[in-house]
Every structure is written in structure tokens, then in C-alpha cells.
Structure 1
Amino acid sequence: MSPHPTTIPALVRTRVRAAVRRPARLTLEERAGRALVLRLVSLLLQYPDSELASARTELTTVVEALPATPGAEHLARFTNWFAAQEPEALERHYVEMFDLRRKSSLYLTYYLHGDTRRRGMALLTLNQRYRAAGWDTDGGELPDHLPVVLEFAALAGPGGGEAPLRQHRRGLELIHRALTDAGSPYGHVLAALLTLLPPPTEADRAAVAQLVAEGPPNEEVGLDPYGTYGEGEFAPPGTFVPPMPAPPTHVPPASTSRREGPR
């Protein structure tokens, strides 16, 4: 049932709902601050390689200088933990949280479309959005990888730039819940991001609960042009999975033939 009286014209109701969902008109300073938070979240959600690990002190300083907000508090809690860990421990924790757990994967279209043909189309749509805005990714990650989506949001601004984040809000909620349930400090990074988005609706909460219970949709089809691997899993960028060998049409006697595997 609509929260607005039925006497209000449909056009007015639509505009009221749209105004609730999008950020209020921001000053240039506010836009810059919002973009900085998005870039920080993007950086902190990337694999903690040696370059990122060596920048931990600088990142902590930048976070400490942010204006006092709930999002900044969440980021400060994370960077305090981040700065205190050994690099190898950070790498292990990241892999465990984001590479080995489906419910906290950073590939957003998975939560909305699962392993279905619709996911391939969603990836193409994201690429087209980036190109239409004049932004060309380096191709190192899929277009729905959360750090990539965050960088686009920071560059393109609160309107169209943040639209993919709003579209995938339910997936972000699920990632946050999974990280929090696992006791991972990365839950604070997702919490900081969620403070920038409109509050979840009852429909959002119900959809997240369904995702937790049932998982995303699934069908055994390819996701061309991106492809699948294993049991319908979506292949991370750079992953090579050798094809299954075709059965031989003729097997010569062992005494006259020798087969060697790849060296």
C-alpha cells in the first residue's frame, strides 16, 4: 500500500519517491567530500597488496581528517585495525572474506541476477554506462566489481554515478551482513558506504532476507561474453580454467604410443 494518499496525482507521488531516493542537492564542497569517502572505500576494498599495505599510515591520516560523521567513524575503526595487522595476515583475511565466500563476494550483479544470462547483460549495461560517461576502465576487473563501481561513482557524481550503487543496494546489504556475521572489520567499510545511500525499505529488507535464505538465482547457461567456469561459478578476472579434454577417438596400443601431459 502506498504511503501517500491516493488523492495525490501519480506524477506527484513519483516525484516524491524519486526525491527520497536521490541525494539532496549538494554544494561543491559536499560533493568533493562524498567523492573522497567513495574513493577511500574503493581503496580499502581492494586486495591488500604490498603497495596498499605500504600506504596504510597515509590512509589512516586521511580518514582521521574526515569530518565527524557515522561513516567516518566506521572508516576509522577499520583503518585502526588495518594498520595494526601484518601484511600476510591481511592478505589471508581478504581472500577468506571476499574470494572464498559467496555471500560477501564483491561482484555486485551476482546478487541481483545470480549465474543467469541476465547477469551477462547487466555487465554489458554497466560497461556501456561507463563508456557513455567517457570513462574507460583498465580492463583489469569486471565492471561490477565493487571498487570499480565506487571509483565510477566518485568520478561521475551523486546522480548517474551513484545509480549502480543504489540499484545494487540489496547486494551491498547482504555483503555488509555477511561480513558483520563473520566478525570481519571489513563490515565497517561496507557500513560507511551504506551511510551514503538511502535507508533500506521494507521491500529491501525482505529481499535481503530471501537472498540469505535462498541465494541468488541460478541457471546452467553461459554468460557470454564473460563466460563461466566450474559449477556455474563466475570466473574472477585473470582466472584460467583448462577445458575438459575430448575423449580420444582411437587409443593405440601402449607398446606403440606414449602420451605426455603438459610440462
Structure 2
Amino acid sequence: MQILKVISLLLDYPAQVVLEARDELAEAISTTRVISPEQRSALLALLSQVAERDLMDSQEAYVKLFNRGRHLSLLLFEHVHGESRDRGQAMVDLMAQYEKDGFDIGVKELPDYIPLYLEYLSYCDEPTARAGLADVEHLLALLAARLAEQDSAYSACFQALLQIAGFEPTQAINEVKEQVSQEEYDDSLEALDALWEEEAITFMGGNQSASCGSSGGKPVQVTPEAVAVPLHWLDFSRDASASTSSKM
């Protein structure tokens, strides 16, 4: 689904390519019919916010929002498994699914990075893509609610994903509102330092290091500067087979 490519770009670290493709992205949002007019307007508002800001300001705001602690992490398994050993196996399983479907991530990013997962789903057939989103519905609702609580325009991305998955966004958010209201969220530098002082778990095993873009047997280090935006994401007319070796 084309709209999943757009949302994956909006959720990724802000890059010049998004600013340059603003009109094309806006057209893709405006013409999609898999989300409501309300959701289309919210995504257009986010696009305008990112595109009209100075790029460095957008990047700074993005890092402050998504890269300070686990509360709003864009890594799926960060929320599901935390630092448990189950997270490593989940990574392996997801990479195996990508490889089975002929999807070569081709970037230095962990396989559960949400924008990357959305690109994968964008090349799947529609029922598979919707099911892939439905599988993480609770997490989508949590992130939508947490972002809405902070009055962040990025909440629009997760509300749109909920709708694509077949859920009513407002209802899904209301179901987790109480949980979110009771959460203690500390994004101070002191709390962040304490978080990074914890022992990091690595996900090395088999060929996973190569698949996840690491080298020399070293763990993947994810930083905002390392996030790459593949230019082919903007080519909405290209055949999915151009990036996958088999039909999904």
C-alpha cells in the first residue's frame, strides 16, 4: 500500500529528501482512500510541520521525542520484550520472515524499526499488510496515545495505521488512555544516562549481524545520524519486484 511508504518516511529521521518530495507525498496522502479524510488531514499537517521547519530543528525535535528513553521508541520489540532474551529470538524470526519474502532491508537498521517494518508491509498484498499492522495494534494504540498526550503531530501516523489495520483510532486510544495516564515518563538527561548505564543486549547469531547491517562481528549501534532514507521509497510507481525477489 502506497500510504504505508508515506507513513514510513514521516516516521523516519527527518531528511532533505522528504522536503524535496513534499508535493509528491502530499498528493499520495490526499488521494489515498484507505484512511478517512480526518486522518488524511492530520498526516498532511504533520508533513507541513516537518517540511516548513528548518531541517536541523526538525531533526533536533525528532531526537528529543523518539530517542530519549524507551517510552516512545520506534523499535517494536523494545516495547514487547524489553531487554529480555526473547527479544533476540524475535529479531531472528523477523529477519527470517523478511528473507523468506525476498525483502532485503539494505540499510544499517534493526529489523524491528517501525519505518522499516512499514516499508516491508507496503510491498505485501493488502490483506497481509493489514494483518501485519493488526498484530501490533495494542502497541500502535499506546504510541498514538502517548504522542497525543504530548500534543505531538506524530500521533497522526499511528492513528492512520490503526485505521488501516481495521480499528477505530479514537476507540483504540481510549482503551489504553488509563494505562498511559498512569505511566511515569521521565525524559530528563539524568534518566537517559541511567538507562544507558544498563548493560546493553546484543542480537548476534548466525547471519543476523550481516542482515542487520553490522560489520566485523560488532553490535549494531543505532543513532539518528545512521538512519538512511532510501530514495526508492519515493518511487510509488515502481514494481514491488524491483526490491523483492519474490511476490509477497
* Cα distance in 1 for residues equivalent to 2:224 and 2:11: 18
Asked if residue 191 in structure 1 is aligned to residue 159 in structure 2, the reply is: yes
1:171 touches 1:208 (CA, 8 Å); kept in 2? no
Asked if residue 135 in structure 1 is aligned to residue 114 in structure 2, the reply is: no
Higher alpha-carbon Rg? 1
Give the aligned partner of residue 83 of structure 1: 51
> Equivalences for 1:90-169 in 2 at 5 Å?
90-169=58-137
What amino acid is aligned across from residue 98 of structure 2 in structure 1? Y
Which among 179, 189, 192 is matched to residue 209 of structure 1?
Answer: 179
What amino acid is aligned across from residue 213 of structure 1 in structure 2? E
> Equivalences for 1:13-28 in 2 at 5 Å?
none
What amino acid is aligned across from residue 98 of structure 1 in structure 2? F
Larger deviation, residues 152-161 vs 98-107: 152-161
Larger deviation, residues 64-73 vs 102-111: 64-73
> Equivalences for 1:175-186 in 2 at 5 Å?
175-186=143-154
**Unaligned segments of structure 1, at least 5 residues:** 1-34, 228-233, 241-263
Q: How far is the alpha carbon of 1:206 from its aligned partner?
A: 5.9
2:2 touches 2:28 (CA, 8 Å); kept in 1? no
Q: What SS does the corresponding residue of 2:133 show, helix, strand or coil? A: helix
Q: CA RMSD in A?
A: 3.4
* Greater helix fraction, Structure 1 or Structure 2: 2
1:38 touches 1:151 (CA, 8 Å); kept in 2? yes
* Cα distance in 1 for residues equivalent to 2:30 and 2:225: 37
2:145 touches 2:177 (CA, 8 Å); kept in 1? no
Give the aligned partner of residue 60 of structure 1: 26
**Deviations 1:129-154, CA, capped at 9 Å, x for gaps:** 11111111114211100111111111
2:148 touches 2:155 (CA, 8 Å); kept in 1? yes
Larger RCO (CA within 8 A; separation ≥ 6): 2
Give the aligned partner of residue 222 of structure 1: 201
What amino acid is aligned across from residue 74 of structure 2 in structure 1? L
**Unaligned segments of structure 2, at least 5 residues:** 186-197, 210-219, 227-248
Q: How far is the alpha carbon of 1:238 from its aligned partner?
A: 8.9
Q: 1:212 to 1:161 in 2, by over 3 A?
A: farther
Q: 1:144 to 1:207 in 2, by over 3 A?
A: farther
* Cα distance in 2 for residues equivalent to 1:183 and 1:193: 18
Q: What SS does the corresponding residue of 1:104 show, helix, strand or coil? A: coil
Give the aligned partner of residue 70 of structure 1: 38
> Equivalences for 1:232-243 in 2 at 5 Å?
235-236=221-222
Q: 1:165 to 1:66 in 2, by over 3 A?
A: closer
* Cα distance in 1 for residues equivalent to 2:135 and 2:181: 15
Which among 174, 186, 190 is matched to residue 142 of structure 2?
Answer: 174
TM, length-normalised to structure 2? 0.67
